[in-house]
Homo-oligomer: A and B are copies of this chain.
Amino acid sequence: MGTRLGELVERFGGRLEGDPDIEVTAVTPLDRAGASDISFLSNSKLRALAARSHAAALILSPADEPEVAASFAGARIVTANPYAYFARAAQYFAQFVDAARLPSPEPGIHPTAAVHATAQVDPTAHIGPHVTVEAGAAIKGGAVVDAGCYIGREAVIGEGTRLFANVTFHARCIIGARGIIHSGAVIGGDGFGFAQEGGVYIKIPQTGRVVIGDDVDIGSNTTVDRGALDDTVIEDGVKLDNQIQIGHNCHIGAHTAMAGCVGVAGSARIGRHCTFGGAAMINGHIEIVDNVHVTAATMVPNSITEPGRYTGYFPVARNADWERVAVLVRNLTSMREKVRALEKAVKALAGDK
């Protein structure tokens, strides 16, 4: 019932130190792993814990191997990126788990879903309970993947795009292959566009679409608005956590990831391979280049033109300390005046001599 270590290495690579006929059935954390488990060491600080593990085998890096090998009795799979190896192995073992143990992943359309007759849904896609797919929308399926394939994202073998319960996928929007849209997400609601006249708002029809690439994950209750005239675009491999808001006409570059509660205002253009910590807020109509990393709870009002990490939140403190500091922050202009006056006075005193 288990999988031979030899087969794992054939599938996912790595150098095996130990008996290829040892069988394992699950990937398990170091401290809980037992005789039928494989575990992993993704952080050198845990070497001692790894050495004491009861796992049948460990996934670890060449740097950690010598020290761990000295005391760990089981087999080792040595690989440059143990965490990525763990992810693939865990995906592999997940397919043997009773389907009932994970959110329903079977292909097909749940009888309670409302899928418009003109929507195109690939037969490998999964459409969960109470999902709504509107007219002209397109849900693509999974690519056919060779059984022995182990490269990157294609390791999720043969799975089509999945829309979990209560997702709303509005008219004419598109999502590519191997995507996941978690429950309650809304794709293609109207953008927030109004003209103002005499203090009253006049709605601007939102006639663009949302176009989502391949291998995109969208979290629970996240919202992505359709474009006003042009489209909102989410490129391949983007990962959005829960409760994120993406405004109309945004463009999110490939392999960018955003943690929960991030907000991106309309027409922002974000590069590739960026990361955004939770509740980061991105202003509209700005541009962020590739490889920018924004810390959680940071407001980005203007474009960022150079890669790097950017931060901007008020440091937390005991409330009484914060209150003192907040008063001083409010009055910084007065402190600057005092410093200027001092500079003048000292200059005068020095000149006097």
User: A-side interface residues toward B, CB under 8 Å?
Assistant: 27-29, 81, 83-84, 86-88, 90-91, 93-94, 97, 99-104, 110, 112, 114, 116, 118, 128-130, 132, 134-136, 152-153, 155-156, 164-166, 168, 170-172, 180, 182-184, 186, 188-190, 192, 194-207, 217, 219-221, 223, 225, 229-230, 237, 239, 241-243, 245, 247, 255, 257, 259-261, 263, 265, 273, 278-279, 281, 283, 294-301, 308-319, 322-326, 328-330, 332-333, 335-336, 338-339, 342-343, 345-346, 349-350, 352-353
Contact = CB atoms under 8 A, between A and B. Distances in A.
B311 A329 contact: no
A345 B339 contact: no
A43 B180 CA distance: 40
Contacts of A263: 243, 260-261, 278-279
A165 to B, nearest CB: 4
Contact of A170 (B183, B188, B346): B183
A189 B201 contact: no
Given A112-B112, A171-B101, A273-B199, A132 B128 contact: yes
A344 B204 CA distance: 62
A13 to B, nearest CB: 11
Contact of A220 (B136, B223, B299, B313): B223
Can you list the 8 inter-chain pairs with the closest CB atoms, starting with the nearest?
A312-B316, A100-B135, A132-B165, A297-B299, A114-B129, A87-B195, A168-B183, A189-B220
A277 to B, nearest CB: 8
Nearest to A236: B200
Nearest to A243: B245
A316 B301 contact: yes
Contacts of A223: 184, 219-221, 242-243, 260
Contacts of A207: 90, 94, 97, 101-102
**Among A27, A197, A309, A310, residue most surrounded by chain B Cβ atoms (within 10 Å):** A197
A101 B312 contact: no
Contacts of A322: 295, 310-312
Nearest to A291: B199
Contacts of A101: 135-136, 171-172, 207
A312 B315 contact: yes
